[in-house]
Structure 1
Amino acid sequence: MNWSAIRNIIVGSVLLMLLCFVSGRPQVFSDTKAYYALGQGAVGGLLPHRPSAEMDETIVSLRGRSMTAAETRAETRLAYTVAASRSPYWSGLFYLAVELGTAWLVVALQALTAAATVWVAARAFGVAHAYLPIVAVLALATSLPVTVMFLMPDLFAGLAIVAAGALVGRRVAITRAEMAISLSVMAAGALFHTSHMLLLAALGGGTAVIAGLVRRYRKLFVPALAVFSAAIVGVAGAIAFPVAVQIIRGEPVYAPPFLSARLIADGPGRALLRQTCQRGDEWGWCAYRDRPLRDVNVILWDSDPTVATFQAADYHLRVRMIREQPRFVLAVLSRYPGQVAANTVRNVANLFLQYGTDEMLGDPSDRFQDPEFRIFKSIVPGTQDCAAGTASCASRLDLVTLDRVIGTVLFTSWLALAVLLASPVAREQWGRAITVLLAGIALNAIICGAISGNAQRYQARLTWLVPFFALAIGADVLRRRRTAGRDQASLPVIYPAN
């Protein structure tokens, strides 16, 4: 990779961090603390030993209060019932970056990764000449810089799709270094979140099937395998983590019962509980059948004693709920197949239309001022006054205006894609890349909407892909027209004979 490419990537990184500078600070989420704690457990032992007083303060900051040894063991064991829902790999990198340079280093690394991934895609699509203008638009009017400043692994959903599109739909050759960047970003994305892994598996596997069945697409088989191999890396990582914990700590690691909670919140699961729990304690969920049970996040994560469900259960009841999930899901599907199908379609359609940034940029005052989240003061510098309640924790950005800009640009980009792809030449040149884009956005809504909740950020994290592809195709069309105009102007003028 030459100096020009490196310079462009560095400038692109700075552009993608501008919104964070204007906002005032990197943005935390409730799960940010859990990722930090998991990272500390995964790699903390590799760092130089710190004084015990400082280590005790870190533990107190993570827990929000001092705890006895027995309480710490009990809480740690409870943490194993949800540990598989979060990536130890992103957690470890996040923890190391915070330890070395606070949350600002995390944002800088995420901006650098995003800028490099977009550069490789621009090179693969033959629009590297327009890279900086494209990144400038993305930085000012899309959700990309929002995911860059967001201290969660959501950024890598969009980056994985772009990297896959660059391999499957590339129009020009790229260097080995650029190929390595794409492969590394996809592998990292698969390791950083299960939804990313499923996305890549579906994109790579689907493309490989098409390449095997349709002769004209045979050349896509190798790129498809590269995309699918990234998903395999994610699967290997997902298997390795619980095995390592079992060997080292002697404890099994679980993921929360996402599907059960989804079915209960949608209604069919509640109906099954009303019918079967009357006969006795048939399901672990029966202990909480009188709770509202209408919101996935409340069911799985809320600790308020008046509404808590999974979080209110002790270790053994949680494990029972988790192990009962396959049987519970099959029971619901067999009794209410039509309702489940209709709810799934509604959830997916609702998530597909999301683009707002409120969940990622909403006022984090409650988190900074909650004793359970004291660690945020160490993760994000300059927040002591905010945590004390003497200064605002809210972003300096006007979120209403920002969402209007993002929504307008998104809608305009969809229209621009439709107009640009009306040209047979554009469809021929860009068809594969656009297919990956559309499939990625649709698959993301299907995976997250059907399995988990309708959290706004799940889809907002990758809406920037639409403006990116619209800008890239537009830059390509404009260059071809200019080239055709120059060629036409250079033709000799032939005058008719007298």
Structure 2
Amino acid sequence: MVGPNTGGYIINTQILRARLTETRSVWVATIAIPLLLLAPAFWNGYPLLQWDTGGYLARWYEGYLVPSRSTVFGIYLHLGERSSFWLNLGIQALATLWILQLTLRVFGLARTVRLVPISLALILTTALPWLASMLLTDIFAGLSILALFILVLHGGKIATLEKCALFAFIAFSGATHSATLAVLLGLCCVGWMVRPFLGKRIPAISLLQGSLTIVAGAAMLLAANFALSGQLAWTPGGYGVAFGRMMQDGIVAQYLRDHCAKENLKLCPYRNELPPTADDFLWGHSMFDKLGRFEGLNDEMGHIVVRSLAEYPAWQAKAALAATGDQLVHVATGEGTNGWIPHTYGIIERYIPSQVAPMRAARQQRWHLDFTAINRVHVPVALGSMVIVAILFGYGVWRRRRDDLTLLAGTVTLALLGNAVICGVISGPHDRYGARLVWIATFVVLIAAARLLGDRDRDELSSP
């Protein structure tokens, strides 16, 4: 016999089963996605290392500042040493999952049926898992852009505790690398400039909170520098890196030819022997070593950088434009992640001898890493994603849309352009600088596709 409430009971049972299924799916995704993000490290048998990793590891032990090596990130790596750095990779994977699902949530796409395929697409077609599996600051570059977007434009959709966590995460991310901090600062500046035109879409209090993350990140870096070195100073290296890029473009050689007759410069005897690239000059065995490296040449490099900017403005502008364009298309995965990283090996052997055996046993140290096949997928996906995101942004501006997707596409487009200017012009174009950020363009494309499919599903359900 069927009672009058049987229909309601069946409906409630179906709802309960659906909720239980979704809960199970959430837990499976919460476990599976971080593990898949770390698949390269699991395959390698050890966290992936890069040429720059050693410089960060050494900060805790050496107690002095070196160019372009954040003490904040050095302390972060030191905390994971006893776990063979798997603690660091776990944090990076969980932070990635957190930011991905939080972004999808503010876009109304947080259900597991959306999170899982989007995450898998990013894992299979972008550098994201390689960044999460590596002991390097790069994973925090793209994540901090998304975190800043959420905090500023969608702070009202998340809990206070989440906003505090985002604030701390953005500040930490900016403190790990000056280029990341500069991109975040640039986005905040653009936010203040366009706010009069967007009004309530960018709440002043949220933009102020986002801007204060830059201040907090800078304070964090200064505090860490003081704690480890006793110097209340910014991480050095700006002039040296810019000098390397100008040398690569031929500007330094021209300056030396024009001025060595009247200026007593240390580099004058080597003006016809300068290496062809900045990497060869700064990190190879060049006259840079003979002349005392950064300590011995920093003042002279700064002098040449400043004077050459004034004396060759057209050349500098042309070189900067070319470097920016070149950086935009340098997006291949894996630069600097191979078996030839002697500095990093040396630092680990000197300061963390307990890690030598597992490090040496890893596939990377046996030269089993090859990104050729991977980049046959990653590079076209990255370049195509950048084009599509720029089109989404341009179309939204043309149609005068102020929706979330247009604002996210605009944020990512500006971040990619700002990153290309900062890294290309100052450091010179490198694939690593592009790969660490361009995956967020693919993420935007996947969000747009998910929204389009969702709209089609609703249209089909509502049609007679």
TM-score (norm 2): 0.83
In structure 2, the residue matched to 1:90 is 73
CA distances 1:116-168 after superposition (whole Å, capped 9, x unpaired): 11121111222112112111111121111111112111111111111122234
Identity across the alignment (%): 24
Task: Quote the Cα distance in structure 2 between the aligned partners of 1:393 and 1:108.
Answer: 22
Q: Is the aligned partner of 1:431 residue 2:406?
A: yes
Match of 1:34 among 51, 55, 61: 55
| 1:458–1:290 distance in 2 versus 1, CA, 3 Å | same
Match of 2:292 among 314, 322, 330: 314
Preserved contact between residue 265 and residue 296 of structure 1 (Cα < 8 Å) = yes
May I ask how many residue pairs the two structures share in their alignment? 435
In structure 1, the residue matched to 2:323 is 347
| 1:272–1:174 distance in 2 versus 1, CA, 3 Å | same
In structure 1, the residue matched to 2:109 is 127
| 1:484–1:377 distance in 2 versus 1, CA, 3 Å | farther
Q: Is the aligned partner of 1:408 residue 2:380?
A: yes
Match of 1:189 among 173, 192, 199: 173
Q: CA deviation at 1:403?
A: 0.5
Task: Quote the Cα distance in structure 2 between the aligned partners of 1:432 and 1:20.
Answer: 34
| 1:353–1:380 distance in 2 versus 1, CA, 3 Å | farther
The one-letter code matched in structure 2 to 1:97 is G
Q: Which moved more, 1:18-27 or 1:229-238?
A: 18-27
Q: CA deviation at 1:433?
A: 1.0
Q: CA deviation at 1:464?
A: 0.9
Which stretches in structure 2 are left out of the alignment for 5+ residues? 1-22
Q: Is the aligned partner of 1:114 residue 2:86?
A: no
**For residues 67-466 of structure 1, what are the structure 2 equivalents within 5 Å?**
80=64, 83-98=66-81, 100-129=82-111, 130-170=114-154, 173-211=157-195, 213-214=196-197, 216=199, 219-244=202-227, 248=230, 254-255=236-237, 257-281=240-264, 283-286=265-268, 288-302=270-284, 304=285, 307-309=286-288, 311-314=289-292, 318-319=294-295, 321-361=297-337, 363-365=338-340, 367=342, 374=349, 378-379=354-355, 382-384=358-360, 393-394=365-366, 396=368, 398-414=370-386, 417=389, 428-466=403-441
Compute the RMSD of aligned alpha carbons.
3.2
| 1:252–1:301 distance in 2 versus 1, CA, 3 Å | same
Preserved contact between residue 157 and residue 189 of structure 1 (Cα < 8 Å) = yes
Preserved contact between residue 324 and residue 425 of structure 2 (Cα < 8 Å) = yes
In structure 2, the residue corresponding to 1:441 is in which secondary structure? helix
Task: Quote the Cα distance in structure 1 between the aligned partners of 2:52 and 2:212.
Answer: 28
TM-score (norm 1): 0.78
| 1:420–1:339 distance in 2 versus 1, CA, 3 Å | closer
Which stretches in structure 1 are left out of the alignment for 5+ residues? 43-79, 490-498
| 1:274–1:237 distance in 2 versus 1, CA, 3 Å | farther
Task: Quote the Cα distance in structure 2 between the aligned partners of 1:253 and 1:171.
Answer: 31
Match of 1:477 among 452, 460, 463: 452
In structure 1, the residue matched to 2:7 is none
In structure 2, the residue corresponding to 1:278 is in which secondary structure? coil
Task: Quote the Cα distance in structure 1 between the aligned partners of 2:127 and 2:118.
Answer: 14
Q: CA deviation at 1:170?
A: 3.7
Q: CA deviation at 1:204?
A: 0.9
Task: Quote the Cα distance in structure 1 between the aligned partners of 2:301 and 2:106.
Answer: 44
Task: Quote the Cα distance in structure 2 between the aligned partners of 1:26 and 1:436.
Answer: 31
| 1:169–1:215 distance in 2 versus 1, CA, 3 Å | closer
Q: CA deviation at 1:450?
A: 0.9
